[in-house]
A and B are shown apart, each in its own frame.
Chain A
Amino acid sequence: MSGRRAVIAGVATSDYPNLPGMSEHAVHAQAASRALADAGLDWSDVDGFATTGFFPMYAVGVAEYLGLRPTYFDETNAGGASFEVLVEHAAYAIERGAAEVVLVTYGSVQLSQMGRTLGTGGGGGGGRMAPGPAVYDALWGNTLVGSYALAARRHMHEFGTTTEQLASVAVTMRDHAAHNPQAQYREPITVEDVVSSRLVADPLHKLDCCVISDGGGACVVTSAERAADLPRPPVYVLGGAHATTHHMNVSADPDLTVTAAAMSGPLAFARAGITPADVDVAQIYDSFTITVVLSVEDLGFCAKGEGGAFVADGGLGLGGRLPTNTDGGGLSACHPGMRGMFLIVEAVRQLRGEGGATQVPDARIAVAHGTGGMLSTGATLVLGREAP
């Protein structure tokens, strides 16, 4: 392939996990300022902007708040997987010459707004639910955790996956979070701690569920040419792809044991010209422990049904087959609602050798894989430190 190559020239996270004094938009602004400073660029260099949130024309509104007048913008909403999609799109825009510098931001103050109670996304009673696919699940008192629990139960039934195997994902994430001073929870936990924590929706326990946080992040996508005289080593966007299987109703998902990653993963790897064996470090959306088990199978890091053994054998740990979520993930470090941006930031830091105590030695290729909705969307981004 000839022509311009898209690179990530700067990344940042905002403060997290608890920001009682900040608005959602202020989190965007803080992360954006830091990412631009990291890239050695100025606000005036930005001609493209991407973000997403939960009301229409969200990106337009945040652009206005930030004083931007972009000639490229994007707010594709794939839930937690959105930011992998937005960076994939930004790369296309850069390579097509439709933009020079695309700023991608995320911000949320979910924890401060909602309080510390674990939200389960259950439909409220006594009212009337508007027509649409979501009512066909919500009317029976299903919850967000319940949707993932249904997937976990089916996976256990088909493949013999155990609650202890699921729990090992949470244990590994906590091990990584111990090295992240910003992480929401850093005290070590054991498999026994997870399986003896309160059941929220069988078979998922409280410690199988992600934390609820405030926070955000940002990255700057530009061309390799533009990045050549910028301070940070560029990280190449080698390939990306995204897919969807259903909306917010898991009853419409034909197979709860196979996610959209089974489509987005192989496409992204083919576009990047790599295989799963080439991946040195992964950042995989961990809304729940089962999400990671399904993703490592569907992305091809192990066979379908072997995800439980893969994660229980230390596969996700430092020194394991696929060091994953080196910042502690959504299960321990930070989950403000749509975590996809954090996956990209941590992947870039690993490829730049800035991973600190959880740095994967000589990491050359990283994968950020987002999952959104109720296992509804998957978006895979392959990043590398060398030009393809």
Chain B
Amino acid sequence: MTEPTVRPGDMHPLPEVPGERPPKPRPAPLPDPESAEYWAAARDGRLLVQRCEACGHHQLYPRAVCVVCHGPVSWIEASGRATVYSFTVIRQNHSRPFRDWMPYVVALVDLEEGPRIMTNIVGCDPEDVRVDMPVRAARFDRVSDEAGLVLFAPEG
């Protein structure tokens, strides 16, 4: 197993340096009854979206009911394909570990199924990210026993 390389925008866990404060991990969500399955799937490398059993609408974040018709919802696995709706390169954030990852890309991506989610774009220079760029769910970072976070990278 190779050590992850720390490059701008890659947001890999930082290596421990003797004599310095230990690196902080990414914050983790506290799952609740509506989100537990979503977080657990991401921990296992799968991106889920909710589908309304009544009207077929797809949604995230997880809710107990469909946001359009208020019918019952169930989970389906998303394709992982998405396009960048908008993005920013964060160059100031005093919170660790994000402070140590700057500059990094925060993006809103539109999943092929419809829902828009917040994520990070990794695997490319932050300067190369563009609006409408095709991206795919490329990395699922485990952040706790119950949860993982999906990160995206440019398609191809």
Contact = CB atoms under 8 A, between A and B. Distances in A.
A150 B98 contact: no
Contacts of A137: 118
Contacts of A322: none
Contacts of A145: 92
Contact of A149 (B24, B31, B88): B88
Interface residues of B, number: 42
A123 B89 contact: no
B91 A202 contact: yes
A126 B93 contact: no
Contact of B86 (A120, A129, A154): A154
A151 to B, nearest CB: 7
B116 interface: yes
A202 B106 CA distance: 10
A293 to B, nearest CB: 15
Contact of A146 (B34, B88, B116, B117): B88
Interface residues of A, number: 43
A72 interface: no
Nearest to B32: A131
Given A141-B101, A202-B88, A128 B24 contact: no
Contacts of B32: 131
Interface string B102-133: 00101010000000111110000000000110
A124 B96 contact: yes
Interface in A106-141: 117-118, 120, 122-131, 133, 135-141
A128 B27 CA distance: 6
Given A125-B24, A129-B30, A250-B108, 11 more contacts: A123-B27, A126-B97, A136-B117, A140-B106, A140-B119, A141-B98, A141-B120, A199-B89, A200-B92, A201-B91, A203-B88
Interface of A: 117-118, 120, 122-131, 133, 135-143, 145-146, 149-151, 153-154, 157, 198-204, 249-252, 256
What 4 A-B pairs have minimum CB-CB distances, sorted nearest first? A126-B24, A122-B93, A131-B32, A149-B88
